[in-house]
Amino acid sequence: MLIFWSLVRNSVVLAVYLLFSVACFLTVHEHCMEECINQFFDGTLSESELQAEYGKMLKKELFGSMENPPSPLTESQKETAMDFYNAFRQKILSVAVERNNAEGEQYITGDMNVQRSWSYYNSDYYYASESAISAITNATQNISQEYDTTFEVPDYLEQGKTNLYNFNTALEGDPFIVSNYHYIIDPDVAPPENFKWFYETGGDPHTRIRLTSFMSVDKNGNKTFIDYTTDEFDPTDPSKAQMWVSYTDEGGAEHRLSTDIVFDHSKDDLRNVLDLLSFSDKDTKKASLLNNFLSNLQIYPKGYFDRFPTAFRSMDFMV
């Protein structure tokens, strides 16, 4: 009996040790990934350097300390390469989204609450993430070819993995959680360079009744009507929103357009951004590029798709 319990105890200790070792490995592994990616987004690591660092990590993942590993890659190694690529790609996009959103928070008016919504888009993060993805894709393909194997990037949209496709889809968040992010219509449309877009809605966390108008009738039957509504943005008014778009030209000058929006709580509250703002520039090619992307953005009040579930959602085709 003592021998039995000793074996059980040793097995438990071994299992705990293995779990701890795996956890430590994954933590160190993720730390290395994140460090490389953050250095890239900080501008201290070039695309070619990222490709080289990723290649070293992938080879270590595939072969460990093995010298002169045989070709071709085994099925298990192919799966390992794909898992590593997916994890690294997802980390690239999540870091891009985190940085984009952290930058956008500075533009929020007043206090954000659950009745409000906002979105920010900086095309710098789109192009940086595309560059990083290109680096790790090239590295994976090169290593696969080196070991007489092919590597193909999966069709993430077909698989419903929007968090792995590109920056435009990653902004929607976790693909397994219902998202209120439907601002981008076609995720394959690339933004203009040096482009920014910000949008926010108002909202009252206390859902107080608002007096929008008042009518009085005097003893002679004369009516007096007072309209208390304005078009100016109010961060506590759920029927209000504001938006701006900007681009920086080659000379470093920023060009910005902005507008306030009033919603009427109807199906027509789903609006295309180009119908509200458009650029007119001496450089017609530049203006066309900007306006083309504006036509790929749509806005709506918080909870719009809960009230009108049959309305067009920009991301439906990806699910």
Of the listed ranges 6-20, 208-222, 250-264, the least confidently predicted one is 6-20
**Do 196 and 100 meet the contact criterion of CB atoms below 8 Å apart?**
no
Which of these ranges, 156-160, 226-230, 238-242, 296-300, has the smallest mean pLDDT? Answer: 226-230
CB 187 within 8 A of CB 168: yes
Q: In sequence order, which residues have a C-beta less than 8 Å from that of residue 288 and are 6 or more positions away?
A: none
Of 21-35, 239-253, 281-295, the range with the lowest mean pLDDT is 21-35
The angle subtended at Cα 201 by Cα 197 and Cα 205, nearest 5°, is: 145
CB 265 within 8 A of CB 239: yes
Given a contact cutoff of 8 angstroms between Cβ atoms, the answer to whether 199 and 241 are in contact is yes
**Cα–Cα distance between 207 and 115 in angstroms, integer?**
9
- Looking at residue 216, its pLDDT comes to 65
Cα gap 203→201, rounded to integer Å: 7
* Distance separating alpha carbons of residues 229 and 60, to the nearest angstrom: 64
Question: Which range has the top average pLDDT, 140-154, 195-209, 278-292?
Answer: 140-154
Highest-pLDDT range among 37-51, 168-182, 205-219: 37-51
Q: Is the pLDDT assigned to residue 110 strictly greater than 60?
A: yes
Lowest-confidence segment of 10-24, 118-132, 213-227, 249-263 by average pLDDT: 10-24
Beta-bridge mates of residue 225: 215
Confidence of residue 175 (pLDDT cuts 50, 70, 90): confident
- Is it the case that residue 34 has pLDDT exceeding 90? yes
Enumerate residues 6+ apart whose C-beta is below 8 A from 197.
119, 120, 121, 243, 244, 245, 246, 273, 297
Grouping H, G, I as helix, E, B as strand and the rest as coil, residue 255 is strand
One-letter identity of residue 194: N
| Cα angle, residue 81 at apex, residues 79 and 84 outer, rounded to 5° | 105
Q: Is the pLDDT of residue 39 over 60?
A: yes
Question: Is the model's pLDDT at 309 over the cut of 90?
Answer: no
Task: Name the band, by pLDDT with cuts 50, 70 and 90, for residue 20.
Answer: very low
At residue 205 the predicted structure's pLDDT band, cuts being 50, 70 and 90, is confident
- Listed by start position, the domains of the chain span 24-318
Contact 272, 160 (CB under 8 A): no
pTM above 0.85, yes or no: no
Sorted by sequence, the CB contacts under 8 Å of residue 225 that are 6+ apart come out as 213, 214, 215
Does residue 230 have a pLDDT over 70?
Answer: no
| DSSP track, 36-49 | HHHHHHHTSS-HHH
Q: Could you tell me what percent of the chain has a pLDDT over 90?
A: 70
Q: Is the pLDDT reported for residue 97 higher than 60?
A: yes
pLDDT of residue 185: 96
Average pLDDT, whole number, for the chain? 86
Contact by Cβ (8 Å): 146, 72? no
pLDDT at 32: 87
C-alpha distance across the termini of the chain, in Å? 57
Lowest-confidence range among 155-164, 225-234, 291-300? 225-234
The whole-number average pLDDT for the span 248-254 is 93
Greater pLDDT, 13 or 276: 276
C-alpha separations of 21 from 11, 25, 66, 188 in Å: 15, 6, 20, 41
> Under a CB-based contact definition with an 8 Å cutoff, are residues 138 and 67 in contact?
no
Average of per-residue pLDDT across 65-86: 95
Q: Is residue 83 a contact partner of residue 164, using CB atoms and an 8 Å limit? A: no
- What's the confidence (pLDDT) of residue 16? 42
pLDDT at 19 exceeding the cut of 50: no
